Amino acid sequence: MPIDYRVDHERRLVLAEGRGAVTAEDIFAYQREAWSRADVNGYDELVDMTGAEKIVEPSSDGMRRLAAMSAQSDPPSGGTRFAIVAPQDFAYGLGRMYEAYRALNKRSTKQVAVFRSREEALRWLTTTSALDAKPGDPSKSA
């Protein structure tokens, strides 16, 4: 699968990496497989698309559907975060589109942010007050 993931139970974090050519179905399959697991409920998430050489046939409708599907698996209490690493301009734009669709979805409780580097994303995820720390705001980083 072009998206591999592992679960870090100690940090309560799902870490996924895209590589090669990633299709919309690959993304949906990852979402279904990883987030249907009861043992990751309430975990933060990092999806790193640095190794994705190509994103095949993305669409705004696909991003909207993915955001809706993802929101259904959010914990009702909220408090979780999802960082997307997308150094390539195209992937970054898709990530921002997904972030916007998540923000518009009433069922979405996960805070989503898109970053250019894994280091920046991990810093945001480990910030004690991530709700106050905005992506790209170095004054709020831990």
Query: Residue 78: pLDDT band by 50, 70, 90 thresholds?
Result: confident
Find, among 119, 109, 100, the residue nearest to 50 by Cα. 119
Domain with residues 3-133, CATH architecture? 2-Layer Sandwich (3.30)
Coil/strand/helix, residue 35: helix
Q: Pairing state of beta strands 111-115 and 44-56?
A: unpaired
Residue-range domain boundaries for the chain: 3-133
Is residue 136 pLDDT above 60, yes or no? no
The answer to pTM > 0.75 is yes
Amino acid in position 20? G
Query: Residue 28: pLDDT band by 50, 70, 90 thresholds?
Result: very high
- C-alpha neighbours within 13 Å on the C-beta side of residue 13: 16
